[in-house]
């Protein structure tokens, strides 16, 4: 199972979790959210999946949209940000990777995370080129 959280207008965090039993979903989801949400998080927006229930506290309210009832948005309560992440991953699989193996899933997720988190970086090309120019390669010793 791949878990993710994204701050609206901010960065995404992706993680693989070993969830062979449905009973573990809630425990894994709460642990993941606890690790990846800032303590001052005011609002968590999810779909209606039961794994997210009970995460809210005095400082963090939990709002949901009910996809099972064809509810995709209610004002600014929506999961569009995270849905776009999954759409990017699906597009990468179909367009570039063609298939994904579990062995390399971390690498695919790292690339997706890097691309998404750098989507607004106006100096992305320059920084990538600089890293390439300063990296050690096997051609250096040839």
Query: Residue 142 falls within a domain, yes or no?
Result: no
Give the pTM: 0.75
* Both tokens assigned to 9: 């207008």
Query: Residue 125 falls within a domain, yes or no?
Result: yes
pLDDT tens readout for residues 18-31: 877 777 788 999 99
DSSP state letters, 33-63: HHHHS-TT--EEEEES-GGGTT---SS-EEE
CA separation, residue 56 to residues 13, 19, 67, 84 (Å): 20, 22, 20, 24
* Both tokens assigned to 10: 């901010």
Query: Residue 82 falls within a domain, yes or no?
Result: yes
Query: Residue 48 falls within a domain, yes or no?
Result: yes
Each residue's pLDDT, cut to its tens digit, for the chain (142 residues) gives 889 999 998 999 999 988 777 777 889 999 999 999 998 999 999 999 999 999 998 899 999 999 999 999 999 999 999 999 999 888 888 888 777 888 888 988 998 999 899 999 999 999 889 988 988 765 555 4
Distance, in Å, from the CA atom of 80 to the CA atom of 35, rounded to the nearest integer, reads 22
Q: 116: closest CA among 8, 29, 2?
A: 8
Overall domain count for the chain: 1
CA separation, residue 124 to residues 92, 115, 116, 131 (Å): 19, 10, 12, 11
User: In terms of residue numbers, what domain contains 105?
Assistant: 2-134
Query: Residue 80 falls within a domain, yes or no?
Result: yes
Query: Residue 141 falls within a domain, yes or no?
Result: no
Task: Provide the pLDDT for residue 139.
Answer: 55
Distance, in Å, from the CA atom of 136 to the CA atom of 54, rounded to the nearest integer, reads 49
Task: Provide the pLDDT for residue 34.
Answer: 92
Query: Residue 140 falls within a domain, yes or no?
Result: no
Query: Residue 25 falls within a domain, yes or no?
Result: yes
């Amino acid at each position: 199972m791949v878990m993710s959280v994204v701050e609206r207008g901010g960065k995404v965090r992706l993680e693989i979790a070993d969830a062979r039993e449905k009973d573990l979903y809630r425990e894994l989801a709460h642990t993941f959210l606890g690790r990846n949400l800032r303590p001052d998080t005011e609002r968590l927006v999810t779909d209606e999946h039961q794994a997210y229930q009970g995460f809210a506290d005095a400082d963090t309210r939990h709002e949901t949209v009910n996809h099972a009832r064809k509810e995709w948005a209610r004002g600014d309560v929506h999961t569009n940000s995270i849905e776009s992440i999954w759409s990017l991953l699906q597009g990468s699989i179909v367009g570039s990777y063609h298939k994904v193996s579990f062995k390399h899933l971390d690498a695919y997720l790292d690339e997706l995370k890097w691309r998404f988190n750098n989507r607004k970086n106006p100096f992305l090309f320059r920084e990538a080129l600089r890293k390439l120019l300063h990296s050690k390669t096997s051609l250096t010793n040839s």
